[in-house]
Each structure stands twice: as structure tokens, then as C-alpha cells.
Amino acid sequence: MNISRSVLSPNFDMRKSDISALVLHYTGMEDFASAFSRLCDSGVASPVSAHYVIDARGCIFGLVEERHRAWHAGVSSWRGRNDINDLSIGIELVNKGHEFGYHHFSDAQMSSLLWLSRRIVTEYGISNAWILGHSDIAFERKQDPGELFDWGYLARGGVGFVPCLATDDEAGDCADKVMLGASDCALVLDELLHRIGYACTGKNMVAAFQRRYRQSKIDNVADFECVSLARALLAGLGEW
């Protein structure tokens, strides 16, 4: 695939850390032109950028060189690191987002994303624990790439890991082991989500986890299904 670098964003600075994370976003603007302009505008009060933008046709635009620090994550945190911009590569997918009419990502867009992500993950040795959505690292502010993003497609292509829900028998066994009652789920899930990498407890932390790992039901309520998924995720990451 080709990457267009006909227009570069001036919104970047120098890294102080090695690259160890990949962060995926949606643009959250009404159209491609608006998003592209915003990512290249240095005259606004809070300039932003990303290393790559992928439009609905699957065309990839490189705006910032990977060796530079793009400004895509903002105030963010993961596994004790706060300046996620400094250690990550950011990819924006053109999508109107929740504010302007959220919709599914196109097949061409996802195919290009997989190709690009696989190259980045391989080149920098990025672990599954550090393949992130913007909502993972800034859950009080962000929802992207959102519940319509197909993380399973990436995982099947070798980028990231998606846990499966436990069977009824497995769920029962786990419930017996940890003796979970309804009131205990919030405490147990809070601990698990912190182990996974989410920052301090916040009102939207469970919703962020659900938006990525249980997209069929996003109610921000800690329940045993979420606990089971969180345990499976840690096991898949080799950390359980």
C-alpha cells in the first residue's frame, strides 16, 4: 500500500522516549476535509496532529514522521505512564464520531489499518497490552474509536488480543473461586482494570472497558460478565 505524504502537519515535537504503544482514534468531525485541516492547523489554541490518517477509501496519509512526537493523545495515562504522546504512534480513522453521526468503519479502511498497524507493531515490538484506543487512555474525555470499531478483526490479523466471554460453567467456577456477589463486582473489576492498565478510578472507566471488550452492552455497570472478560484479557496478555 502507498502512504501519501503530500501534506505534512507542523504540529509535532521531539520524542524523549522509545516507541512502545499504538493508539487508535476516530477523527470525530463532519468530514475528511475538516479533520485533515484540523490536524494540520498550527494557528488554533490547541493544535493537534497524528502520525497517520486513514479515510473511508482506505487511503493512508502520513502527517508526522514516526520518529517525531505527534499530538494525538492529549491528557492521558496507561500503566503508570502519563505522556502517552511521547511513546506512541497515533492513527486517526475518518469517522464522524458520536457527536456528528457515528457509523461503521469501512472494509477498505480497516484493511489499510491492519496493514499499517501490523507493520508498526512488528517494527517497534509493541506488545498487545499497549495496543490502545483513545478511550482506554483518556476515558473521562474520549469514546473513540468506539463500540463500532472491530477490534476482533485486528486481533485475527495479529494486532492485539480480544478475550472471549466465559461459558456458564467457567463463569460459575470463577464465581465460586472469588465468591463474587453483586456488590463485590465493582471492587473486583476496579482492581482488574487497574492491572490491565486503566488509570485512577473514574465514572467512565467501566464504560470504556465495555466499549472495547463488550460492545453489545455499554451501561457503565460493573457486573460479573465484565469481571470474566477482564480476567480473560489478563490471561491472554500472560498476566493472570
User: Is residue 102 domain-shared with residue 205, that is, in the same domain?
Assistant: no
User: Is residue 39 domain-shared with residue 141, that is, in the same domain?
Assistant: yes
11-38 pLDDT per residue, tens: 999 999 999 999 999 999 999 999 999 9
Structural domain contains residue 163:
no
212-240 pLDDT per residue, tens: 999 999 999 999 999 999 999 999 999 98
Query: At 141, which amino acid appears?
Result: R
pTM, two decimal places: 0.93
User: Is residue 141 domain-shared with residue 215, that is, in the same domain?
Assistant: no
Distance CA(5)–CA(116), nearest Å, equals 15
SS3 track for the chain: CCEECCCCCCCEEECCCCCCEEEEEECCCCCHHHHHHHHCCCCCCCCCCCCEEECCCCCEEECCCCCEEECCCCCCCECCECCHHHHEEEEEECCCHHHHCCCCCCHHHHHHHHHHHHHHHHHHCCCHHHEEEHHHHCCCCCCCCCCCCCHHHHHHCCCCCCCCCCCHHHHHHHHHHHCCCCCCHHHHHHHHHHHHCCCCCCCCHHHHHHHHHCCCCCCCCCCHHHHHHHHHHHHHCCCC
Distance CA(87)–CA(69), nearest Å, equals 8
What average pLDDT is seen over the chain? 93
Strand order in the sheet with 52-54: 3-4, 60-62, 52-54, 88-93, 21-26, 131-133
pLDDT confidence of residue 200? 74
Q: Which residue has the higher pLDDT, 201 or 57?
A: 57
Residue 19 has which C-alpha cell? 516507541
pLDDT confidence of residue 165? 73
Answer for the pair 86, 68: CB distance below 8 angstroms, yes or no. Answer: no
Domain total in the chain: 2
Mark which of 156, 181, 215 sits at the end of a domain: 156
Lowest pLDDT segment from 6-20, 36-50, 135-149, 153-167: 153-167
Say whether pLDDT at 168 is over 50: no
User: Is residue 18 domain-shared with residue 83, that is, in the same domain?
Assistant: yes
User: Is residue 152 domain-shared with residue 172, that is, in the same domain?
Assistant: no
Structural domain contains residue 81:
yes
Q: How confident is the model at residue 108 (pLDDT cuts 50, 70, 90)?
A: very high
User: Is residue 16 domain-shared with residue 92, that is, in the same domain?
Assistant: yes
Structural domain contains residue 30:
yes
Mark which of 156, 191, 213 sits at the end of a domain: 156
The answer to whether 92 is a known catalytic residue is yes
Mark which of 125, 156, 187 sits at the end of a domain: 156
* Closest C-alpha to 8, from 66, 65, 47: 65
Say whether pLDDT at 174 is over 80: no
User: Is residue 68 domain-shared with residue 180, that is, in the same domain?
Assistant: no
Structural domain contains residue 60:
yes
User: Is residue 21 domain-shared with residue 83, that is, in the same domain?
Assistant: yes
What residues make up the domain containing 139?
3-156
Q: How confident is the model at residue 171 (pLDDT cuts 50, 70, 90)?
A: very low
Structural domain contains residue 70:
yes
Q: Per the residue annotation, which of 30, 65, 66, 92 is the catalytic one?
A: 92
Structural domain contains residue 94:
yes
